[in-house]
Amino acid sequence: MDAAERSLLHETVRDALAGGRTGSGTAADAVLTELGWLEMLGAEPRDAIDIVFTTLGETNTVATALDDVVITALGIEPSADLTVVLPPFATSNFPGRITDGEVHIVGLTGARIGRVSRVVVACESDVGIQRVMVPAAAATAAAVRGVDPDGGFHLIDIHHDAVDAVPVEPAVWIDAVAAGRRAVAHQIAGACRTMLDLARTHATERVQFGRPIAKFQAVRHRLAEALVAVEALEATLIAAWDEPGPMTAALAKATAGRTARTVGAHCQQVLAGIGFTTDHPFHRYLKRTIALEGLFGSTETIVLDLGRELLAQRRVPTLIEL
Amino acid sequence: MHIADFRAKLNAWLDAHHAELAAPFAPPGTLDQRVAQMQRMKSVLFEADWMRYGWPEHVGGLGGSPMLRTELGAALAGRDLADPGLFSLIEVLAPTLIDFARPELAAEVVPRLLSGAEIWCQGFSEPGTGSDLSSLSCRAEPDGDPDTASTWRINGQKVWTSLAQYAERCVLLTRTGPADSRHRGITAFFVDMDTPGITVAPIEMINGMHEFAEVFFDDVVVPADRMLGELNGGWSVAMSILPYERSSCFWQRIAYLYRRLEMIVEVAPDDDRAAEVIGNAFLHLHMLRSRSRVTQHRLADGATLGAETSIDKVLVATGDHIVYDAARRLLPGIVEMDDSDAGEMWRTEYLYSRAATIYGGTAEVQRNIIARRLLDLGTDA
């Protein structure tokens, strides 16, 4: 896809998703299906994931496309009838553990859990990593209110026979985590763009002391700081696709988490009173990024893991070249 | 040559010739030692053609993308063979001559800069002109009519002129329009530093080095054919440097910061506190490197770099602080109480790193540019 095609597709997806802010994700899922999301994911995963997740972030839309990204990375054909269990919040641990022929699963899912018949789970076991398919009926799924009640998140607890366990290479799970991290980082980047846009508009319209607050250097510098963070995040996402691998994906996701905090804090301060209310849309974006930041590991755990890895190797890899 | 091939060949050559290129003293050395070492290394690299890639043929280069010379600078910085602050001065001086000097002058002098035969300096800042460059007042008066004058007479003062005490030449910005003409009344000259009337007074920096100097011009006579660009066209000469300063120079600086973080990682304690500090610094350097890479690809694709490079500048300056702060946190005493060569190196560089948010446009000026030009917030008046 060239730049013009990408831009056109982005516009199409944005128009199609505008206003679809339901917690169940059914409306947005239908729109994405209509647009050929799964075909795009198969044929041009980079453009598909970049555009769809950026737009989900920008428009604060709930969909269940993340399931398809992770399921594909696990080596399975995605389907509307299949969901995947994500690692427990703020970790990248295996959601499943197989012992004595039984699988015990603790983790998160998106909104799709309410309308599927099967659930796929990556599990650790004494004989290595295994992929298990369990009936959705076996799952105890509790919709999470949490910080983002509209986000469609569910806490999952499953005890089931580990029938049909398929051994998978460790690299498969590492790739699935990397794929999930890239997608979530795009979504956070999209949300950050909108938060900045909302704060920027407010700063040019809100008048105090006889002038728009955008004229005050303290306000301008906060918005500048937010833009630096967003643009840096977008650059790490380009790097994560140009040199795909667990480390560039981890760096993009951790950058996304940190950027969300920077942008959230500065924009909320600029929005001041109105940003503290639910009358203004800002709160939805802020809450969504707070929730997304914990998927596939928190910013703190990813940063700590990266630091440990560098210390173990006693070197600092440059990862990307000109 | 494809850039990846060039990088591979360059690295193989640098591996094989490390001993020949390396400094014969322990870092940091005195400034005299460092400057002499840099010039010696440049002559070896020019002799072996590496200093010629990415420069146009008509100034002694071998052509090819400017990214080739960026690769060279980064490889040298990453191997601790060159201090990018000094080495990358080439990137803010040679392009000015290539783009704005008479072709014969550029062909004569640029090879002397590249080969280490000469050092040049950049006379931009003045005591009354820090971030606000267009307010400069160092005066150039024509000998007669400005359009036909054969010489110009220069009076005034420059400051923060890097390596002026070593320099054979100076790229100088002067006021040729009325005092209040701002960026419309500035003209650039290429001045020989041995011209009568030039006095250089080195400044001792916070780290004890004398990298900068004050330069005084007292009735200094310069031939008119040393004018760079148009009369009163000096602002575009000054601005033309920005794309090089914000791409190649940054990439070299980034390579150096990776190497400095690696030096910390090599000896830091293997615990979670260190892992957190290192992880955070690594995250920032990766952000910065990712951004700089995007910028350089845009430049290579023909884009004109402008205000958006203020974002790169903010990230580089912050990165400088983060890496040297990490050294203080993880190598306790190395900056504060260590008189060994290693301590001297970290102390000198730590103290220098505090200038990263000041030189090349302060952190505040960058944020003003981002607000006005990139966020379109209008003027702040």
At residue B109, the 3 state secondary structure works out as helix
* Residues B46-54, mean pLDDT to the nearest whole number: 98
Contact B205, B82 (CB under 8 A): no
pLDDT at B131: 85
CATH numbers and ranges of domains, chain B: 3-114 (1.10.540.10), 120-233 (2.40.110.10), 241-374 (1.20.140.10)
Q: Which residue of B has its CA nearest to A214?
A: B377
Q: What is the pLDDT of residues A181-224, one digit of tens each?
A: 999 999 999 999 999 999 999 999 999 999 999 999 999 999 99
- Among A115, A147, A167, the domain boundary falls at A167
Contact B342, B294 (CB under 8 A): no
As a whole number of angstroms, the distance between CA B112 and CA A233 comes to 42
Q: What is the pLDDT of residues A66-124, one digit of tens each?
A: 999 999 999 999 999 999 999 999 999 999 999 999 999 999 999 999 999 999 999 99
**Contact residues, chain A, for B266 at CB < 8 Å:** 314-315
Check: complex ipTM more than 0.95:
yes
What CATH number does the domain containing A134 carry? 2.40.110.10
Name the percent of chain B lying above pLDDT 70: 100
Is the confidence at residue A21, as pLDDT, over 70? no
- Cβ-based neighbours of A1, under 8 Å, separated by 6 or more: A9, A44, A47
pLDDT at B170: 98
Same-domain check for residues A153 and A238: no
- Residue A171 one-letter amino acid: A
Backbone angles phi, psi at B253, to 5 degrees: -65, -40
> Does the distance separating the beta carbons of A227 and B311 come in below 8 Å?
yes
**Preferred mutation among B283, B322, B376 to probe A, highest tally of A CBs within 10 A:** B283
Backbone angles phi, psi at B196, to 5 degrees: -55, 140
Instruction: Write down the pTM of the prediction.
Output: 0.97
**Contact residues, chain A, for B272 at CB < 8 Å:** 304, 308
Q: How far off is chain B from A195, nearest CA to CA, in Å?
A: 13
Tell me the sheet residues that pair with A109. Answer: A154
**Contact residues, chain A, for B252 at CB < 8 Å:** none
Contact B254, B110 (CB under 8 A): no
Same-domain check for residues A92 and A184: no
Same-domain check for residues A49 and A86: no
* Residues B297-309, mean pLDDT to the nearest whole number: 93
What CATH number does the domain containing A189 carry? 1.20.140.10
In the numeric block, the tokens 């399931």 are attached to: A67
> Does the distance separating the beta carbons of B4 and A308 come in below 8 Å?
no
Where in the sequence is the domain holding A194, given as residue range(s)?
Answer: 171-313
Tell me the sheet residues that pair with A123. Answer: A96, A130
At residue B103, the 3 state secondary structure works out as helix
- Residue A319 in domain: no
At residue B133, the 3 state secondary structure works out as helix
Contact B55, B46 (CB under 8 A): no
Same-domain check for residues A207 and A121: no
Q: What is the 3-state secondary structure (H, E, C) of chain A?
A: CCHHHHHHHHHHHHHHHCCCCCCCCHHHHHHHHHHCHHHHHHHCHHHHHHHHHHHHHHHCCCCCHHHHHHHHHCCCCCCCCEEECECCCCCCCCCEEEECCEEEEEEEECHHHHHCCEEEEEEEECCEEEEEEEEHHHEEEEECCCCCHHHCCEEEEEEEECCCCEECCHHHHHHHHHHHHHHHHHHHHHHHHHHHHHHHHHHHHCEECCEEHHHCHHHHHHHHHHHHHHHHHHHHHHHHHHCCCHHHHHHHHHHHHHHHHHHHHHHHHHHHHHHCCCCCCHHHHHHHHHHHCCCCCCHHHHHHHHHHHHHHHCCCCCCCCC
Q: Which residue of B has its CA nearest to A251?
A: B283
pLDDT at A17: 86
- Among A12, A43, A74, the domain boundary falls at A74
- Cβ-based neighbours of A131, under 8 Å, separated by 6 or more: A74, A75, A76, A120, A121, A122, A123, A165, A166, A167, A168, A172
- Residue A320 in domain: no
Q: What is the pLDDT of residues B60-109, one digit of tens each?
A: 999 999 999 999 999 999 999 999 999 999 999 999 999 999 999 999 99
Of B71, B126, B245, B349, the active-site residue reads: B245
What is the crossing angle of helices A3-17 and A26-35, to 10°? 150
Q: How confident is the model at residue A24 (pLDDT cuts 50, 70, 90)?
A: confident
Q: What is the pLDDT of residues B287-297, one digit of tens each?
A: 999 999 999 99
- Among A48, A74, A100, the domain boundary falls at A74
